[in-house]
Structure 1
Amino acid sequence: MPLPATTPAPGPFTLGQDVFDDPHRLAAALRQESPVREVTTPRGVTGWLVTRYEDCRAALTDPRLLKDAKAATEALGRQMDSASPYLHAGARLLESHMLNTDPPDHTRLRALVNKAFTPRTVARLRPRIEEITDGLLDAMAELPADSDVDLVKALAQPLPIAVICEMLGIDAADRHLLLEWTRVIVSSAPGADLVRASDGIVAYLDGLIERKRADPADDLMSALAQVSDQGDRLSRDELIAMGVLMVIAGHDTTVNLIGNGVFALLSAPEQLGRLRADPSLLPGAIEELLRYDGPVHVATHRVAAEPLELGGARIPRGALVMVSLLAANRDGERFADPDRLDITRETRGHLAFGHGIHYCLGAPLARTEARIALERLLARFPGLRLGEGAGKPAWHPSLLIHGLVTLPVRLG
């Protein structure tokens, strides 16, 4: 597909609604014509979009591409009016987490939470994840079998938000607030109320931290708040940014892994049949689902510390660089027949969770939750199929996350 002639090269290519609705088709065109292309996002941010696997993998570990919240703010400030929601103090505070930090600060911050997300620690959470999943499936089983059920609302969303909130010590009654705020924060749609959402979650987490300091419990946020008091290893702003990162990364990736994964399987009946016939294929199937339609669209911004060449493009100093994980994982030079779902495929090296020192800390948790959810869902509802309207999926308008707004299914 040739790129629409919205702006003449070499000017920025304006990304439209198709970057949300049909990102794989757009990425295929970009890889062919301009694998590293200057673009303008739907929110008006200009940067360089990387879509070829080898270029993406190289960019994720290139020391000339900074993960630096201050540098990103300066880059945005050169493009935008000072009143832009992107430059609002609360929004910028939320960006100052370890995912937007390079060593040595990244090393320090990651060490503080690493133990909470190791495979061994996540394995201890398995009984509780199973319990939550079974409760959600029980509720689904009470619904009429001949009516549509929104799998996102019924399972994909409530499971991971419950798990991460319990880990952080956040009350169940407040989960809906976090879902509302984070949905706006990750949105790339023009007009999304970023100021209100960022101020709301900053105030909420500020209050939560104060409560955990005053009355600590056996949860991750209490532990982080106590670390802050014992040697000032975490500032107030770092604690808030860390909390936001864990809420978003700890639930949104899994929501989309489950939702996108079930949609992909139900859309490929022969692959679903193979998995039902041999459940031992599930771990490999999850890796293929991550590659095929992963939960993260574009990695968080990097900033060029110096002029550099990437994929044949010359990127100036101070430019924003956006690495498309979705595009990399559909690159035919890396994965044969990339647009075909194959649950027995060798997927080693996929970039769904990133690469290098910023590889997703919550990957073991996301994999575990997805495996439990898919295993139990398919066993509980052997007649599961797509519902009305599922053939025209609606995707969240976000360049950060890639996920379905709803997924209508029939339980059978």
Structure 2
Amino acid sequence: MRVSEEPKSLGGDLVQEPHRISALLREDGRVRKVRMPRGLDVWIVTGHAEARAVLSDPRVGKDTAQVRRLFERDGFESAGDDTVRALSGHMLNLDPPDHTRLRKLVNQAFTSRTVSRLRPRIEQITAELLDGIGDAERTDLLTAFAVPLPIRVICELLGVHAGDQPAFATWSNTMVAWSTPEELRGAAAKMHAYLVELIEEKRAEPADDLLSGLIHASDEGDSLSGDELLSMAFLLLVAGFETTVNLIANSVFALLREPDQLAALRADPALLPGAVEEFLRYDGAIHLATIRFTSEPVTVGGVEIPADEFVLVSLIGANRDAERFEDPHRLDVTRSANGHLAFGHGIHYCVGAPLARLEAEIALRGLLGRFPRLRLDAEPETLRWRESTLVHGLETLPVLLR
């Protein structure tokens, strides 16, 4: 079956109202061509079964060189300057066999067993941050808690100095948002220079951290080039906290809008691990998965996508597909949300998923335990989402604590 390739134009409400737009798109066609807010024509996938199929199809690739060629074919600047490209040449933007080789180097660092050893330190950081909020009556929970917790965890894991963490968060935010080319290049240049210096420091004086381990693996002939090492450090640092920041904040935001679900979780904290899966399904931290392209014609859900076309998978849309999840727009902390796609699917499934789950569970347990009267300090509809089609996260989360 072939559908019309006349693209449907999408606007800013794709960011501010992603669930409504995803539902409308799914009704119109679970796989269909759209024109993104900045003019790029892509095929967008909003059905769960169709998303799983695309995410695991070897004919749908991510190689940065081909993505760049297709951007230039369509008259768009692909990814900034050489510095931006150097940072973006990581395993998330590669296909096998390069992806397979790089993924193998970091898999062991993020297994559930390995990550579980971090629990005491994550609990300690959580307690310190909650203590820091102190006796305040109100706060922005993003800046006070949801942002600094994952940043401290991933930076300590990789070996980033504590004093450098705020600057790193600023650069990362610029690089995942709808930034201008000038802003993107500026943030990338600072990030690149910092990581080059950090890698050299770790090479000269190795420490007990993941980045030192990756440098050692490279020096031992594990086929990790200097550019690969740089882009790997960038990926692990950015992905290691962007997803978790928004998972924590989105989860709290969802709970504070659903008092019955908040009460159920308070009454039975043992529900938390399963509730985290429901938060991931209900309002996950990633909206549209990173861009892919078809290397040959691919038929998905009865729709043929021609070769050399861009494809975006709406993880948010797939996770609210009524054909997969009953009453998908309802938050239910007792639901079995197994099968959600918040961390992707296939060979690019998020390597840091065990860490994100653990951090979210500890953060929510600590927060709800410390502040039994926690509630929103604004009308929900007045809060805005960050201007990004990649990350799905709030700009602020004002709450009353007392």
What is the CA–CA distance in structure 2 between the aligned matches of 1:58 and 1:44, rounded to whole Å? 26
Aligned-pair CA distance for 1:389:
4.5
The alpha-carbon deviation at position 312 of structure 1 amounts to 3.6
Cα distance in 1 for residues equivalent to 2:42 and 2:225: 31
The CA distance in 2 between the partners of 1:204 and 1:188, in whole Å, is: 23
In the alignment, does 2:14 pair up with 1:14?
Answer: no
1:394–1:405 CA contact under 8 A, matched in 2: yes
1:193 aligns with 2:183: yes
| Contact 1:304–1:320, Cα closer than 8 Å, also in 2 | yes
CA contact 1:42–1:190 (8 Å) conserved in 2: no
How many angstroms apart in 2 are the aligned matches of 1:191 and 1:87? 6
Shift of 1:289: 0.4
- CA distance in structure 2 between the aligned counterparts of 1:35 and 1:188, rounded to whole angstroms: 26
Between stretches 125-134 and 301-310, larger displacement belongs to 301-310
Equivalents in 2 of 1:367, 1:398: separation in Å?
A: 23
Using the TM superposition, give the Cα deviation of residue 390 of structure 1 relative to its aligned residue in structure 2, in angstroms: 4.1
* In structure 2, C-alpha distance between the alignment counterparts of 1:150 and 1:80, rounded to whole Å: 41
Match for 1:52 among 47, 54, 71? 47
Query: Out of 43, 47, 68, which is 2:38 matched to?
Result: 43
For the pair 1:392 / 2:392, whether they are aligned, the reply is no
1:11-50: CA deviations, max 9, x gaps? 3222211111000000000000122122232333321111
Aligned 1:29-108 pairs, distance under 5 A: 29-81=24-76, 84=77, 86-108=79-101
1:324 partnered with 2:318: no
C-alpha separation in 1, matches of 2:345 and 2:94: 15
Counterpart of 1:132 in structure 2 is 125
Distance of 1:10 and 1:305 partners within structure 2: 18
1:302, distance to aligned residue in structure 2 (A): 1.2
The residue type equivalent to 2:344 in the other structure is: G
C-alpha separation between the residues in 2 aligned to 1:292 and 1:12?
Answer: 28
1:191 deviates by 5.9
Secondary structure at 1:80 match in 2: coil
Partner of 1:3: none
Q: Does structure 1 retain, via aligned residues, the 8 Å contact 2:71–2:78?
A: no
Q: Which residue of 2 aligns with 1:344?
A: 334
Distance in 2 (CA, whole Å) between partners of 1:104 and 1:75 is: 21
Output the CA distance in 1 between the equivalents of 2:182 and 2:246.
20
SS in 2 for 1:207: helix
Counting only pairs closer than 5 Å after superposition, residues 5-404 of structure 1 correspond to structure 2 as 10-81=5-76, 84=77, 86-143=79-136, 145=137, 148-188=138-178, 193-231=183-221, 233-404=223-394
| Structure 1 residue identity aligned to 2:248 | I
CA-based RMSD of the aligned residues comes to 1.5
Q: What is the Cα deviation at residue 206 of structure 1?
A: 1.1
TM-superposed CA distance for 1:128, in Å, is 0.6
Q: How many residue pairs are counted as aligned between the two chains?
A: 399
For residues 310 and 194 of structure 1, the distance between their equivalents in structure 2, rounded to whole angstroms, comes to 34
TM (norm. structure 1) is: 0.93
| C-alpha distance after superposition, 1:301-359 (max 9, x if no partner) | 11100122223433221111111111000001111111100111121110011111211
Gaps of 5+ in 1: 1-8
* Cα separation, 1, equivalents of 2:264 and 2:184: 44
Instruction: Return closer, same or farther for 1:106/1:85 CA change in 2, 3 Å cut-off.
Output: closer
Range with bigger deviation, 70-79 or 272-281: 70-79
TM-superposition CA deviations, 1:74-115 (whole Å, max 9, x none) = 11121235xx37242222222211112222211211111111
| Cα 1:388–1:172 shift into 2, 3 Å | same
SS at match of 1:244: helix
Equivalent-residue separation in structure 1 for 2:13 and 2:302 (angstroms): 25
